[in-house]
Amino acid sequence: SIKAIESSNKEDDTTWLTYWVVYGVFSIAEFFSDTFLYWFPFYYAGKCLFLVWCMAPVSWNGSQVLYQNVIRPCFLKHHQAVDNVLGNLSTRA
């Protein structure tokens, strides 16, 4: 999804690909922290509001904000190493 977002061929799918990238990162983080987070009051309400903010059809929606400020810089910093690891895995398979 990140490769599709960063490609030169920009189409209508960029908005939803951005959402799915943010949702995927959120799901991975939640998997490791859910044991502790569900004890907080209104955790599920906050989670629901967060996901609605990520899907909101406004210019300042959560997916765009988080992708541009957090995920994209991290990806651009490490994408060469990730591509090398995935390349090595595919040759071994």
Predicted TM-score (pTM) of the model is 0.72
47-85 core/surface letters (b: 16 or more CB in 10 A; e: else): eeeebeebeeeeeebbbbebbeeebbeebeeeeeeeeee
State the pLDDT confidence band at 93, using cuts at 50, 70 and 90: confident
Which pLDDT score is estimated for 12? 57
Per residue in 14-72, pLDDT (tens digit) is 777 888 999 999 999 999 988 888 788 898 899 999 999 999 888 888 999 999 999 99
Per residue in 11-21, pLDDT (tens digit) is 557 777 888 99
